[in-house]
Amino acid sequence: MELVIGTKAWSSWSMRPWLVLKKAGATFDETLIPLRQADGATEAAILARSPSGLVPFLKDGEVAIGDSLAICEYLAEKFPQAGLWPKDAVARAQARAAAAEMHSGFASLRGECPMDLAAAPRVAELSEATHKDIRRIVTLWNGLLARFGGPWLGGADWGIAEAMYTPVATRFRTYGVQLSDFGDTGAAAQYAARLLEQPEFKAWEAGI
């Protein structure tokens, strides 16, 4: 397998399937394309490997997939022993819904607080739209942690939902977001901290 990714400090979408591959114990080749190169060099390099012109992009023999969540779904089926979705049907549905909400939502948070693992932490002035996104994330995390008992959103095992939200936890760290200001009584902040303590994330961060 080969996973084509972008600059590790910035490419949150690349991070997600990379973490899943590592958690699954998969052997894969990593092809890193530097982002933000001048004169269209980045675009040309990505297009040479990814028909959509986007990263990440997974190649596994004749299989070629170019969307983070689709890659993760493929990996969950390829490595069922990794438990990347909860076994319980209800927990699995809720974890999938949480992952999909991150995949398609929280546009203000993603736009106003882009992932930058190389940036020094700072307190940012955030818009009300971003405040709304953060409040929703706190509500979502707290609700699932309480419902399924934690320590992860679907229960006992780290899964694809965690891969989807790990870049969010980095944003909270970088931009000085205190989740207690958005209705958290502690569980969401502890969850964010657990995401950033995972050895797979630390390995990704070490590569920036």
Tell me, what's the pLDDT at 168? 98
Encode the chain in three state secondary structure: CEEEEECCCCCHHHHHHHHHHHHHCCCCEEEEECCCCCCCHHHHHHHCCCCCCCCCEEEECCEEECCHHHHHHHHHHHCHHHCCCCCCHHHHHHHHHHHHHHHHCCHHHHHHCCCCCCCCCCCCCCCHHHHHHHHHHHHHHHHHHHHHCCCECCECCCCHHHHHHHHHHHHHHHCCCCHHHHCCCCHHHHHHHHHHHCHHHHHHHHCC
Q: State the chain's mean pLDDT as an integer.
A: 97
Residues 6+ positions from 27 with CB-CB distance below 8 Å: 1
pTM score: 0.96
Tell me, what's the pLDDT at 182? 98
C-beta separation of 195 from 151 below 8 A: no
Tell me, what's the pLDDT at 38? 86
Tell me, what's the pLDDT at 93? 98
Domains of the chain: 2-82 (3.40.30.10), 89-204 (1.20.1050.10)
For tokens 């944003």, name the residue: 171
Tell me, what's the pLDDT at 162? 98
Tell me, what's the pLDDT at 126? 97
Residue 95 or residue 40, greater confidence = 95
C-beta separation of 85 from 96 below 8 A: yes
Distance CA 16, CA 109 (A): 17
For tokens 């309480």, name the residue: 146
In tens, the pLDDT along 66-87 reads 999 999 999 999 999 999 999 9
Residues 6+ positions from 65 with CB-CB distance below 8 Å: 57, 58, 71, 74
In tens, the pLDDT along 80-137 reads 999 999 999 999 999 999 999 999 999 999 999 999 999 999 999 999 999 999 999 9
The whole-number average pLDDT for the span 182-208 is 98
